[in-house]
Structure formats: C-alpha cells, structure tokens
Amino acid sequence: MRLVVALVALGVCAITSGQALAQTGRSTAAEKAAPKKVVRSVSGSVRTASNDAVVVVGRDKGRETEWTFAVEPTTNIRKGSKSIVAGDLKAGEAVQVRFSERDGKAVAESILVRSAKKEAAGAKK
C-alpha cells in the first residue's frame, strides 16, 4: 500500500513539474517558425480601384512604381472623417496605404485619402 501511495505521489509531482515547465514562457517550435507580421506604408495616387483591389502608383527608391493591394472587408478606408469602400476611390486621388504581405500578396490594412488642401499647401513650399 505504501508503494502505491509513493507511486501516486511521484506521478503527481511529475505532472505538476511538467505544467510548471510549460508555463515558463518558452516558445514552441511552431511559434518560432511563424513569421512576424511586417506592416509597411507607401504613398502615391490611385490608378484604378475596385471593391477587392486598389492599384497605386508612386515612387519607391527614386523609381516610378506600381503596387496592387488586395482589399479585405477589414481594410479601413478613410476619406476625411468618412469611412468609404475601395470602389469609391477615384483615379488620381492621393493615398497612403498601410499593408502587409500575406500568402504572397500585398494586403491593405488601411487606406487614407489625403486631402487636396494639404497637397496644395505642400506644393507651395
């Protein structure tokens, strides 16, 4: 009987020490392998827009560049104080796009339409 009690006590100690090790904050292999989300930002003007994609042209490292961004239902699109949908964007509007890479695609996190007044004030300087 004492042997059974000793074995049960040993088992309880093994289980609780295993739980303590699991809660030490060590990362698992899956957590280490998961890529970190990198959010970038670009500025340019709208070339085309639909409800599921926006094409923006601008300069990147001194060169004219064109980016295509996927638009999801969670993409925050603002024009002034109003929320709009990507299909409301007009060709030529100045925008700033925050995006991340997912599954080989640039996915827009947010799109901010810059006001014409600010653009005009910047051109006077």
Whether residue 37 has pLDDT greater than 70: yes
**Does 50 map to a domain?**
yes
Cα 21 to Cα 34, 49, 55, 65, 87, distances in angstroms = 22, 52, 49, 50, 52
**Three-state SS for 84?**
coil
**Does 15 map to a domain?**
no
Q: In this predicted structure, what is the pLDDT of residue 115?
A: 82
Whether residue 7 has pLDDT greater than 50: no
Q: Which domain holds residue 108?
A: 39-115
Lowest mean pLDDT of 54-58, 107-111, 116-120, name the range.
116-120
Whether residue 47 has pLDDT greater than 80: yes
**Does 70 map to a domain?**
yes
The total number of structural domains that make up the chain: 1
**Does 94 map to a domain?**
yes
CATH number of the CATH domain containing 107: 2.40.50.320
Segment 17-44 shows an average pLDDT of 66
Positive/negative CA dihedral, 88, 120, 63, 35: negative
CA 48 to chain centre: 22
**Does 26 map to a domain?**
no
Q: In this predicted structure, what is the pLDDT of residue 64?
A: 95
Positive/negative CA dihedral, 66, 70, 76, 80: positive
**Does 77 map to a domain?**
yes
Q: In this predicted structure, what is the pLDDT of residue 116?
A: 67
Please give the residue that has the higher pLDDT: either 109 or 15: 109
Stretch (H or E) spanning 11: helix 2-22
